[in-house]
Structure 1
Amino acid sequence: MLASFVGGAGQIGQGTYSNVYKARDTVSGKIVALKKVRFDNLEPESVRFMAREILILRRLDHPNVVKLDGLVTSRMSCSLYLVFEYMEHDLAGLAASPDIKFTEPQVKCYMHQLLSGLEHCHDRGVLHRDIKGSNLLLDNNGMLKIADFGLASFFDPDRKQPMTSRVVTLWYRPPELLLGATDYGVGVDLWSAGCILAELLAGRPIMPGRTEVEQLHKIFKLCGSPTEEYWKKSKLPHATIFKPQQPYKRRIRETFKDFPQSALQLIETLLAIDPADRLTATAALRSDFFTTEPFACEPSSLPKYPPSKEIDAKRRDEEARRLRAAGGRANGDGSKKTRTRDRPKAVPAPEANAELQVNIDKRRFVTHANAKSKSEKFPPPHQDGAVGVPLDSSNHMDPLYEPPDPSSFSTVFTYEKGAVPTWSGPLADPAAVANQKRKHKSRSSKQPATARAR
């Protein structure tokens, strides 16, 4: 029962449909993480998310995958708590620290553990579908564990099954999902891993889009646009809408010219536009990146850091913004406020919660798609800037969010540790989305039902 656990540092994270808290087991004395499932008045979607995550976690057993220690119920409420081992850090929190700069052996150590965990997941028929820094937990012994399987799904590579394209946080979402693919495989997780590798070496997220259209634009600018052959064979739902009028040249090598050659080769294959050209986790582990010097360090040799999670970085940034705002009001002399360049504004990564939002976004997508002609979707390759209309799901973002200063983002990355956006975006509130779904159903009850992707 929940009474056997004592709370400590309060909330330490947020999952797809839950909050995560630090607590101590009064029986064993062990520090644990309690994931409180929000049932949202017993919405079927919340129950289904929770049940699937538990089934997936019980199928997995690997040093680089978070372990489910048990389930706990509360006498005071209908909440269910998932009990996990406590991890002091997440990769997003460490990467956001201006005092931390990862060496090449450290990056190799983290990436080897990430790919090893993904290899196990994929071998067991599980797609994570939300690989990002805040879902990669680290303990003080240097062990990395993949966490938050709230958007994960079972898959069978030998059998076609429709799945939702509305998964993976925007900055780490592969192009096929942005183009509406419902038949996909391990390539979605490997694309995200490629983004993580480049981010660790560059010191900042490499494609921080604010809308799906802008995200595709950033992908095409960096990785090139798909070939005519790919457009024809893939037959993706949104291809006719988002296909650029002029092809984009692939610019990974010139953008990351300061990266080690072996890292560039791995990034090139992980960030292949065609998922069929991406390496599997097993093949990536055998790449030159891990077999050439300097080799990956041992996890136990990694530095010992103060506890650092993405949520801590968000709180620091919010507090800094409040102090700056208070200072501006105190000055109140009408003079133009100088904008700080110490840290770029956090750019949200709008993210839909799979099944909870797919039907709503279908209608919204059609509305936005009809509002613009194809030629307006992307500027010519030589032009830059924010493109597209922000999704409504981004309305759930931090109320203190401000758009970034475009000049704070460079298209060429070096090893210098720059200012780092410290969060990868909020999750849509399942309760709010469920209420919208009920209203939508009542309006369209006379229309024929359509099959929903998983």
Structure 2
Amino acid sequence: MAREILILRRLNHPNIIKLDSLITSETSHNLYLVFEYMEHDLKGLASNPAIKFSEPQLKCYMQQLLSGLDHCHSHGVIHRDIKGSNILIDNNNVLKIADFGLASFFDPHHSIPLTSRVVTLWYRPPELLLGANHYGVAVDLWSTGCILGELYSGRPILPGKTEVEQIHRIFKLCGSPSDDYWMKLRLPLSTVFKSPHHYKRCIADTFKDYPHAAVKLIETLLSIDPTHRGTAAAALKSEFFTLEPLPCDPSSLPKYSPGKEIDTKLRDEEKRRQCYAGDREKKIDSRVRQVSRAHVTSTDNIGSKTSMQQVQQYSFTKNQSEVSNSHREYVSKQLIYLPKHSEDAKETENNLSGHIHRRTLHIGPLVHVSSDWATGGNKIDDEPLISHRIDHMKLSRLIASKTQV
């Protein structure tokens, strides 16, 4: 945190978040950093299906991002975690780079070892995945290229799940490194990740539907060799920003309701939960109908007294596990109807209700056909629900038969 504070106090630019103050807690002795409030982040806006960026708007955001990075790099700071959720936007559409927790000082004339365990996986350059500990501003430019591709395609362009998958995704899109690359950088993990298959570079084909100037800038920023990515200042002078349509003024852009990456995650999670719950309910309904038809058929064929007693005993066992409800319930995957109370059996019910509560027989999953099925039925903190509705006529016969025995 001390390094983050020093870096933030060194930087002063319209496109870099400002540290307003520091607050200490008297009880916990913690130190809190207070920043200016920003209503949005780029990830939340870009992933909102209701928002479509125009070409001038997209260029406006990228111009501000590269301007902020140019200021950082010219003051000896590399961010090392450029991604959509760390790029904040206020209601005036002014973009600011935030979260300098992984940022570090660097000197291009005096290289010192740095950790390679930085940058979020989807935006991490190949040299860091291969274990490089001497690097510079090129790591931020690679992440910027990923952001530019994501804004055009509407989704992350390199969404690897592991470091191994990530490096192979990079090679498939950007091409396998040449032998000179391996010899020049001498990366610690080069022998581990070096693929026997040689991939051709296909960035132009992947983004062929987008403007030529944009594809050309992506090609530069996503160069496998970090020395070929150029600088933020050079990117600002590229054709992407000089050809029509030109970047618009931030004040001319529309205002959006507050939205951040966490809102996108919650929205996606709710959508997945609803889809999963709907599929589960359809499967449950189908299984219950099949079992119900089979149960009705088998009951019609029962004619003997012995068989009836067995059915009564089975019904008594089921009733102990039923959920108290005046409507139809799905119990043990069978559709059953809860019987009404019998006035002449209330005394028997009262005598047995305590015993039923003390010892509950569970003969299968007890669930309502509702969204709770998606979470596994009853919640952990739910109290056990035992039905008090018992078939008293069948119960009386059962008790009588047991007494005679």
Q: Structure 1 length as normaliser, TM-score? A: 0.62
Name 2:99's counterpart in structure 1.
Answer: 148
Name 2:72's counterpart in structure 1.
Answer: 121
User: What pairs with 1:301-312 in structure 2 (closer than 5 Å)?
Assistant: 301-312=252-263
Give yes or no for the alignment of 1:195 onto 2:146: yes
Give yes or no for the alignment of 1:240 onto 2:198: no
Name 1:227's counterpart in structure 2.
Answer: 178
> C-alpha separation between the residues in 2 aligned to 1:223 and 1:112?
24
Alignment partner of 2:8 out of 48, 57, 78 = 57
Shift of 1:323: 3.4
Give yes or no for the alignment of 1:172 onto 2:123: yes
Distance verdict in 2 for CA 1:74–1:256, change over 3 Å: same
Name 1:107's counterpart in structure 2.
Answer: 58
Amino acid at match of 2:128: L
Name 1:267's counterpart in structure 2.
Answer: 218
Alignment partner of 1:93 out of 44, 51, 56 = 44
Give yes or no for the alignment of 1:68 onto 2:5: no
Name 1:322's counterpart in structure 2.
Answer: 273
Question: Which protein, 1 or 2, shows the higher relative CO under an 8 Å CA cutoff with sep ≥ 6?
Answer: 1
Look up the SS of the partner of 2:20 in the other structure: strand
Name 1:252's counterpart in structure 2.
Answer: 203
Unaligned runs of 5+ in 1: 1-49, 337-399, 401-454
The CA deviation string for residues 44-97 of structure 1, in whole angstroms up to 9 with x for no partner, is: xxxxxx111111100100000000000012234332211100000000000110
Amino acid at match of 2:260: K
User: How large is the Cα RMSD of the aligned pairs?
Assistant: 1.6
Moved more, 326-335 or 158-167: 326-335
> C-alpha separation between the residues in 1 aligned to 2:286 and 2:86?
42
> C-alpha separation between the residues in 1 aligned to 2:144 and 2:6?
24
Unaligned runs of 5+ in 2: 288-373, 375-405
Amino acid at match of 1:312: D
Higher helix share: 2
Name 1:443's counterpart in structure 2.
Answer: none
Shift of 1:320: 2.8
User: What pairs with 1:311-390 in structure 2 (closer than 5 Å)?
Assistant: 311-333=262-284
- What number of residue pairs does the alignment pair up? 288
Look up the SS of the partner of 1:72 in the other structure: strand
> C-alpha separation between the residues in 2 aligned to 1:325 and 1:198?
31
Name 1:157's counterpart in structure 2.
Answer: 108
Name 2:166's counterpart in structure 1.
Answer: 215
Name 1:294's counterpart in structure 2.
Answer: 245
> C-alpha separation between the residues in 2 aligned to 1:328 and 1:259?
37
> C-alpha separation between the residues in 2 aligned to 1:256 and 1:328?
36
Look up the SS of the partner of 1:333 in the other structure: helix
The CA deviation string for residues 236-286 of structure 1, in whole angstroms up to 9 with x for no partner, is: 001111111132100000110011011111111100000001120000000
Shift of 1:317: 2.1
Moved more, 212-221 or 68-77: 68-77
Alignment partner of 1:136 out of 78, 81, 87 = 87
Amino acid at match of 2:152: L
Name 1:379's counterpart in structure 2.
Answer: none
Percent identity, please: 69
> C-alpha separation between the residues in 2 aligned to 1:313 and 1:71?
30
After the TM superposition, which parts of structure 1 deviate over 6 Å for at least 4 consecutive aligned residues? none
Look up the SS of the partner of 1:149 in the other structure: coil
Name 1:394's counterpart in structure 2.
Answer: none
Larger radius of gyration: 2
